[in-house]
Amino acid sequence: MRTGSRATMTEKPTLKTIARLSGMAVPTVSRALGNAPDISADTKAKIRKIADEIGYVPNRAGVRLRTGRTNVISLVMSTEHDMMNQTARLITSIGSGLRDTQFHLNMTPFFPGDDPMKPIRYIVENGSADAVIFNQILPEDPRVAYLMEREFPFATHGRSNWADQHAYYDFDNEAFARLGIEELAKRGRKNILMIAPPIAHNYAQKMVHGGEVAAAAAGIKLCISKRITSDSTNAQMREWVAGKVATDPLIDGFICGSVNATMAAVAGMEAEGFKVGADIDVIAKEAIPFLKFFRKDILVVLEDVTATGEYLARAAIMAVREPKAVPMQFLEIPRGFVSLDQY
């Protein structure tokens, strides 16, 4: 192990320590650790190797004094039960997107019933992060308006009505619903129920619109659940579905806006003696391959959460570094349904 390695060091490692061990100037070391484009890949690799060996951790207070930045990206996420199904993978993928940069990820949760503006205001007013990433976007989301007004860097998982002005990654829920209706029509299904997300959210409105337009074009019936949403409790959704299929045996298809809604719908219909695939087809989307292990005949579209997180990380960094540049934007379009073999 090199002299000055973690095993032999007694002082806290600093940029000067790395400069001494590498034979390079402190500014070069700092820029290499910051992934500056004018520093060669070999130099960056050498500097990072030394930093890892000696256990170097940037002094955030010092960084903030020198640069005015915290080198922190904050992920603001709801703790709602269904959202947590993909949160771990999203955190991992955002972390992967921040790897080999000077930025670190901070998780800021907010709870059902809390004002979602509260964590955003706290971060901005206290300067506790350089950028924020958040989801559950409303068409005229006050968080988006607030951040744009203050020119604070951010990226959203989902689109607002001002999406042309900010960074985002979104899944095309309109295309998902259209794909679902077209597949159900192809299978001869004519009486469809959709368990949509809360209609205040932009992605819910796009899902409903896509389904309604496709159903009208196919000449089949589509009803949107009014009493429940895909964020309702499992018990509420299961009981609602059981009641619906019991009173209307002509129902032959479901489009579900969440994994929990899918499982609850299946439980509800099976409680009344209906079989997935044979009696009723179920369209679902998920971020983590699971549903076809649960019931192989569920028709599943996959969302690429790994790509989502990595893209949002890069978009947030770009918003920090190049605030006047055109924001990074991507719309993931579902191409079709996956088989169990593709899991």
- Dump pLDDT digits (tens) for 155-212: 999 999 999 999 999 999 999 999 999 999 999 999 999 999 999 999 999 999 999 9
Question: How far does Cα 33 stand from its chain's mean position?
Answer: 27
In this predicted structure, what is the pLDDT of residue 95? Answer: 93
Strand-pairing partners, residue 338, are 300
Question: Residues of the chain with pLDDT > 70: what percent?
Answer: 92
Average pLDDT on 114-137 reads 95
Residue-averaged pLDDT of the chain: 91
Written as six digits, the tokens of 160 are 């607002």
For residues 218-246, average pLDDT: 96
Domain ranges of the chain: 15-57, 68-171+305-332, 173-302
Residue 7: its pLDDT value, please?
43
> Coil, strand, or helix at residue 334?
coil
Contact 276, 282 (CB under 8 A): yes
**pLDDT number for residue 64:** 57
Per-residue confidence (pLDDT) for residue 84, from 0 to 100:
47
More confident residue, 71 or 60: 71
Give the pLDDT band (50/70/90) at residue 299: very high
CA gap 235, 241 in Å, rounded: 10
Residue 109 pLDDT > 90: no
Query: Per-residue pLDDT averaged across 233-242, rounded?
Result: 97
Residues near 37 by Cβ (< 8 Å), separated by ≥ 6?
A: none
What does the block give as tokens for 326? 């055109």
**Is residue 1 over pLDDT 60?**
no
Q: Evaluate if residue 278 carries a pLDDT over 80.
A: yes
- Spatial distance between the Cα atoms of 109 and 107, rounded to a whole number of angstroms: 6
The answer regarding whether domain 173-302 maps to CATH 3.30.420.40 reads no
Residues 109-114 have a mean pLDDT of: 84
pLDDT at residue 240, rounded to an integer: 97
Domain 68-171+305-332 carries which CATH code?
3.40.50.2300
Q: How far apart are the first and last CA of the chain?
A: 43
Q: Is the pLDDT reported for residue 119 higher than 50? A: yes
User: Residue 329 — φ and ψ, nearest 5°?
Assistant: -145, 135
